[in-house]
Structure 1
Amino acid sequence: MSAGQILFVDDEEPMRIAVKQWLGLAGFDVTVLARPEGALGRLSRDFPGILVSDVRMPGLDGIGLLKAAQAQDPDLPVILVTGHGDIPLAVEAMREGAYDFIEKPFAPERLAQAVGRACEKRRLVLENRRLRALGAGDDMARRLIGPSQAMENVRAQVRELAPLPLNVVIFGDTGCGKELVARCLHDCGPRAARPFVAVNCAAIPETMFESEFFGHEAGAFTGAAQRRAGKVEHAHGGTLFLDEVESMPLALQAKLLRVLQERCIEPLGGNRTIPVDLRVITAAKADLLAEVRAGRFREDLYYRLHVAEIRLPPLAERREDIVALFESFAALAANAHGRTPPTLTEGNVQALLAHDWPGNVRELRNEAERFALGLGLRAAAPVAAEAQGDGLQASVALFERQRIEAAFIQAQGDVAEVMRLLDLPRRTLNEKMAKYGIDRRRFLG
Structure 2
Amino acid sequence: MSHHILLVDDDADMLRLLSLRLEGSGYRVTAVGSAEAALARLAIELPQLVITDIRLPERDGLSLFQDIRSQYPALPVILLTAHGTIPDAVEATTHGAAAYLTKPFDARDLLERVAKALGGAPPAAAEQDRDHAWRAHILSRSQAMATLLAEAKLVAASDASVLIRGESGTGKELLAHAVHKASPRGQAPFIAVNCGAIPEQLLESELFGHVKGAFTGAVASREGLLQMADGGTLFLDEIGDMPLVLQVKLLRVLQERTVRQVGSDQSRPIDVRIISATHRDLDSAMHAGQFREDLYYRLNVITLTLPSLAQRREDIALLANHFLRTLCAKAGKQVRGFAPDAMEALRMATWPGNVRQLHNVVEHVCALATGALVPLALVQRALRVPTLEVLSYAEAKQRFERNYLVQLLKLTDGNVSDAARLAERNRTEFYRLLQRYGLDARLFRADAPAPAAVAPERQA
Q: What's the TM-score once normalised by structure 1's chain length?
A: 0.56
- The residue aligned with 1:426 is 453
Q: Larger relative contact order (C-alpha < 8 A, sep ≥ 6)? A: 2
- The residue aligned with 2:349 is 355
Is 1:260 the counterpart of 2:254 in the alignment? yes
Quickly say closer, same or farther: Cα 1:138–1:212, change in 2 above 3 A: closer
Encode CA deviations 1:79-136: one digit per residue, 9 max, x unaligned: xxxxxxxxxxxxxxxxxxxxxxxxxxxxxxxxxxxxxxxxxxxxxxxxxxxxxx9564
Structure 1, unmatched stretches of 5+, are 1-132, 397-419, 429-445
- The residue aligned with 1:216 is 210
Quickly say closer, same or farther: Cα 1:139–1:234, change in 2 above 3 A: closer
Q: Residue 327 of structure 2 aligns to which amino acid in structure 1?
A: A
Which of 132, 141, 152 aligns to 1:137? It is: 132
Aligned 1:105-144 pairs, distance under 5 A: 134=129, 136-137=131-132, 140=135, 142-144=136-138
Answer whether contact 2:321 2:337 (CA < 8 A) is retained.
no
Answer whether contact 1:367 1:378 (CA < 8 A) is retained.
no
- The residue aligned with 1:286 is 280
Aligned-pair CA distance for 1:281: 0.5
**C-alpha distance in 2, partners of 1:308/1:388?**
48
Aligned-pair CA distance for 1:295: 1.6
Structure 2, unmatched stretches of 5+, are 1-127, 370-377, 403-446, 456-460
Answer whether contact 1:329 1:368 (CA < 8 A) is retained.
yes
Stretches of 4+ aligned residues off by more than 4 angstroms = 133-136, 382-385, 387-393
**C-alpha distance in 1, partners of 2:448/2:205?**
53
- The residue aligned with 1:299 is 293
Which of 250, 263, 270 aligns to 1:269? It is: 263
Encode CA deviations 1:20-64: one digit per residue, 9 max, x unaligned: xxxxxxxxxxxxxxxxxxxxxxxxxxxxxxxxxxxxxxxxxxxxx
Q: Residue 254 of structure 2 aligns to which amino acid in structure 1?
A: L
Answer whether contact 2:134 2:181 (CA < 8 A) is retained.
no
**C-alpha distance in 2, partners of 1:210/1:317?**
37
Quickly say closer, same or farther: Cα 1:275–1:341, change in 2 above 3 A: farther
Aligned 1:298-337 pairs, distance under 5 A: 298-337=292-331
- The residue aligned with 1:165 is 159
**C-alpha distance in 2, partners of 1:201/1:283?**
10
SS of 1:377's equivalent in the other structure is: helix
Answer whether contact 1:136 1:187 (CA < 8 A) is retained.
no
**C-alpha distance in 1, partners of 2:299/2:449?**
45
Aligned-pair CA distance for 1:252: 1.2
Q: Residue 425 of structure 1 aligns to which amino acid in structure 2?
A: A
SS of 1:426's equivalent in the other structure is: coil
Answer whether contact 2:163 2:303 (CA < 8 A) is retained.
yes
Is 1:340 the counterpart of 2:340 in the alignment? no
Which of 161, 179, 201 aligns to 2:173? It is: 179
Aligned-pair CA distance for 1:378: 4.4
**C-alpha distance in 2, partners of 1:205/1:421?**
56
Q: Would you say how many aligned residue pairs link Structure 1 and Structure 2?
A: 272
Which of 139, 142, 146 aligns to 2:140? It is: 146
CA RMSD between the two structures: 2.9
- The residue aligned with 1:240 is 234
SS of 2:222's equivalent in the other structure is: coil
SS of 1:203's equivalent in the other structure is: coil
Q: What's the TM-score once normalised by structure 2's chain length?
A: 0.55
Aligned 1:3-22 pairs, distance under 5 A: none
SS of 1:151's equivalent in the other structure is: helix
Encode CA deviations 1:307-351: one digit per residue, 9 max, x unaligned: 111111211222111111101111122233343333211121122
Answer whether contact 1:322 1:352 (CA < 8 A) is retained.
yes
**C-alpha distance in 2, partners of 1:310/1:276?**
25
Aligned-pair CA distance for 1:139: 5.4
Deviates more, 1:228-237 or 1:144-153: 144-153
Aligned-pair CA distance for 1:214: 0.6
